[in-house]
Structure formats: structure tokens, C-alpha cells
Amino acid sequence: MAGLPAVSPAVTAELVGALSPRLRKRLDGGIAKLAARPMTRDGDTVRISVDDDTDLTLHAPGGTVTGADAVRCGCLLAPDCLHRAAAVSLAPVADESAEPPATPPLPNGTAEADGPGGSGGASSPSAPGSGAATGTGAATAEGPAEAEVADPAQRDAARAVRDAVATLLEAGTDGAGAVVQAEVLRAAHTARLAGLPRAASAAVSVVTGVRAARSADPAFRLADLTDGLRDVLGVAGRLPDATGAELAALRGTARQPYRPDGSLRLYGLFSEPVLTASGYAGAVTWTADADGRLYTVSDVAPGGAGRAVGAADRAVRIGDTSLTHRELSRAGLAVSGATVSPTGRLGAGAGVRAVRAAGADWRGEPLDRLWGVPVGDQVSRALGAPGGPGAPVRQGGGHDLLFLDVTLVGPVRETGGDCLLADCDGVPVRLVTAHDAPGLPYRENLRLLAAAGGTRVRVVARLVPGPLPRALLLATEHPNDAAARVDLGLDRLQHADLPPSAARPAAAPTAPSADEAPLHLLRRRVQQAVSGGRRVLAFPGGAAGDGNRLRRVGLGTAGDLLDALHAAAADRGRDVFGRLLPSNAGRFAHAWLGAAVYTAEVERALCAQAWGVDAARVAAGAVAVGA
């Protein structure tokens, strides 16, 4: 529900857990009714009118509800009423592993949290030598990191996360109501207290994705939720037996350490809006130094699409500069006493000084060198970045941005909607919208660019792994003026901006489907399980045929994994009276995880092949970036 403050996972788990069995069955219906009621905000207090005579209030100092006593209802059944649990289940989930991004600047050189929409996050592995606290089992001077093991509390917390998420996966987004979500949030809170911020943050992200799916949020992407489930199950499953550096990476770090980086001369690249399903919005501006290293400046806080667009006209919070994000994307910045996180986010400590400086054209030095990197090397870097595409930029150079010179071809119709086909040195690349929120101009801008067929432009895009070359289009040169730039999530193109020779695009031809590749047989089942749960794979049908088809084309492992997934879904024993026994959610989650990991790795290889990149280069890039 737009406008509600974020709620701590522990609060949601407590209020839902206190409901009687009868009220738990009515919780999802109560959430739907409460979502339709009027709401008002007065400072840190949000008031929902339950009916003509009853109000429910949420007190959220700093934008987050941190205690159950901050949620009060005036009905006769309070405090044990359904309304309180419905309100917190409707509100966005606060990721306690990363402090809100609106915190005031901290003293120079101290740790500052990366916000949910910033360039870093709590799920990022801790950088070597960062010194960040990662849990109670951190290495000490008395023993090398290689001998480090998880303590009992961390092992129990990891298993709790695994079991709760396995139950959610078994239900699927269609069946994972508020009670199931609350159990995942309870496990996430336990993991955070045990010093496992990566597992906690990943579990919270999964709940946020499930809520987006159930509310038909236009920003929801099934592939993203699938990736989130794969990540949290993988982390929680490996953590109890991990040691040394692997354990440190699986624990993660709740705070990104900001380290001094001296003086920086930065050149603005572009700005993009941030709009998350967890209720945060704002803007991130990308800059580069003379050596091509990328740095980000963000302004992300609770809000909706309006704040995402409006944040572009807010002053950046670096030193005393009055530059807005929109201005910085085209200008420059001279920073002294800079502090930078491992993910490249600029700190705003008290000792940081920054003044406006001259910017640079994309076709001039030093930004021109970003487009001078061979496309194959850029794709290798993106696929090999820690966390893969979608992971934050890192100081070592690992990020998923692509700087491409392309010739616009025109629109192409796909199952999920039209995309813009472009030629990149002989590689047909599908450029798609970065966000489908109606308040952002991505889709309309893409439609207009499709009318500029034959135009040669430079673009910034974000790699999307898959069997066909695909990328999210973020920024481009102006189609009628190469010296100007267009941030496609913030600026709005007009027909007058198109080249004089541009005509209205013809009807979009249908593109060959990537699903013609046999791997789609496994990918489709993996994603169906996420949306429909175990039961959609338990029905008898073409499971054996699909497995045999995969084996016939040489994907024997894929066929075996698909058969194992269907077998786990259909595994239901009976008691002595012939009644069905409860299903084994752990077995199904294990089979699903194997299929999901295999699919992701094969798709990485297919993506490299589609872009003309040797898979060995991708593996080498992953090692180099992670070093």
C-alpha cells in the first residue's frame, strides 16, 4: 500500500504469530480490505480508517516501525485484533541489514550504510580486509580465517531461513500468504541477530518479491524473484558447513565501510531512477574518473515513482555542492577528502569537500574510453562480476553496465511486449525497458527511439543474461544531437527530438523466441514452481517427454534435473489409512535449487556465446574481479 512506512520483520512476525488460528485464516482477506481503506499521514504517524468509528495508527520515527507497540488499533478486540497484523503485512518490509539511506552524514572515514536503492547493499560479500563485523564467528588474530567456522547460533539461523523459504517455495507466490511470509521474516530477523546479514537481507527481498507478485505490481519480474530464491536457498544451505573465506562471503556485511580515497576528479555519465518494491525511491547518478573507474551518488528514501523522478532535481549530498543529480549527470565534480565504499558509492562524511567542475562529452576524453573497451570484454566483466549481472559496481571494476555503439533498427514484438532491436557491430541486441512503472518514461522513450531506425548512437545499458543478446536501456545520446544525452528513466523524448528522416515505426515483426532453445523446458518449470508452488509440477503430464527431449539434444543433466524436480513435487506418501502425508518441502526445495543453479549457469554460458564471448573469458573475468 503506497504511503505506509516500512515495518521491521520482527514486528510483522510478532503480530502475525500472536493471532489465533481462526484469525490467521482470515488474515489475507483482512489485508485486502485494509488496502482499500483511506489513509492519512501526519509527520511520523500514519492513520488508516478501519471504519467510520475506528482508526489504526502506525508510529514510524525515521520512517520505520520498529516495535509492536507502535501499531495501535481502536477496535474492541485490540490489541489482539486482525487489523494490526494486516497493517504490518501490507506495509513494506524494512531491511534491517542495511540502514535506511536517508541517515545523516557520518564523520569522515566511518562506516555508512548503503541503502536499499543505493549502489551497494547488505547482500554484498564483504571486501577483503574491510574489517567490517560479519558475525560472532569472525576471525581473530589467534587463528587464520581459513579455520573459521559458523557458530551454533549461525548454523541454526541458516537452517531456519532455509526451512522457512522452502515452505514458501512449496506454496509458490499464489499460496504464500501473510502467515507464510511472516515465518520467513521471523527467520530473517533471527539470522540478522546471529550475524548473518546476507541471508537476512536475501530473505527479506524474497518476501518483498512475493508481495509484489501477489499485488500485481507492474515492476514485478518473475525472473528476479527466481534469482532471489536461488540466492537465499544457496546461501542458507551452504553456510552451516562453510569455512574461511567462503563463510565470510556467505555471512555478508550489514554495513559498507567507507575508506578514504583522497582527491577525485569525476565526470558525470547518467542518472537513473530507483523504485523498489520495498517502498524506496530516488535516483542514482553514475560518474567516472579519468581511469574509467565508476562511482555513484544516490538519494534514496521511502517514496513512490514521484519521488524517483523528483529526486533527480534534488542537490547531491556530497560536500557543499548545489548540483542536482540531473546536472551532475552532465557536469563534473571535484572531490577532496573523498570516502568510497567497496561498491563505489561516494560517502558524505563531514570531512568531504566537493565543488562543481567541467563535465565531459561521451565522445571526448576521458569518457570515450568506456566505449572503447571491446564489447566481449564488457560482457565478460558483467557476467563475471560478484553476484553476476544486477550486482553493484565494485572498485575492482566489476559491474554490469555496457557502453555500446549501436545502430537503431526498429521495434520487435516479443511475448513480454515490444523491444528495440539494435545492431552492435554485427550483433543484434534487444534493448528493453529498465522499469515498467507507469510513472517513469522508459517505455514511451523506447517506443519513440524505435521510430529512429538507422540512427547511430551511443548508449548505456545493463546486461540481461539469456540465450539472446539483451540489455536494459538506461541512457542514450540524443537521436538528433550527439552532444546531448537522454536519461531514459528521467527525461521524456518528443517526436520533435527524432531525426527529420525518422518515420513512425511499422508494425513490429515477431522476433524468434529464445524459448526455441531446449533449455526453456527446464527454465519454465523452475519459474512455474516459483509462481504456482509444488502442486503445479505434481500433476502427471509431459514431464518424461520434456526430460527425454533435453537428453536427445545433449542436455542430459538438464533432463535428469527436470525428472528429479517432478519426482520431488509428486512425492507424497500415505499413512496406514490411505491419507496423504505432508509433503517434504526440504526435498522439493533441494531439487528446485539444483535445477535453478544449473539453469542460471547454462544461461550465462549461452549469454556469452550470444555475444560472441568465450566462456573461459567469463570465468577468468570472475576470478580477476573477485581478487
Q: In sequence order, what DSSP letters do the residues of 421-483 get, joined into one string?
A: EEEETTEEEEEEES---TTS-HHHHHHHHTT-TT-EEEEEEEE--SSS-EEEEEEEEETTEEE
What value, to the nearest 5°, has the Cα angle with vertex 173 and ends 599 and 12? 120
**pLDDT cut 70: percent of the chain above it:** 83
pLDDT at 278: 65
pLDDT interval class at 138 (50, 70, 90): very low
**pLDDT cut 90: percent of the chain above it:** 53
pLDDT at 514: 45
Closest by CA to 5, choosing from 69, 70, 55, is 70
Closest by CA to 88, choosing from 148, 169, 17, 154, is 17
pLDDT at 311: 85
Greater confidence (88 vs 519) lies with 88
pLDDT at 113: 35
CB 578 within 8 A of CB 547: no
Tell me the pairing of strands 64-65 and 6-7. parallel
Between CA 526 and CA 530 the distance in angstroms is 7
Q: Is the pLDDT of residue 547 over 80?
A: yes
Between CA 426 and CA 186 the distance in angstroms is 51
Q: Cell 563475471 appears where?
A: 384
- pLDDT tens digits along 295-317: 999 888 777 777 888 888 888 88
Greater confidence (584 vs 543) lies with 584
* Exposed/middle/buried for residue 215 (C-beta within 10 Å: 0-12, 13-18, 19+): middle
pLDDT interval class at 104 (50, 70, 90): very low
pLDDT at 228: 94
What value, to the nearest 5°, has the Cα angle with vertex 311 and ends 436 and 34? 60
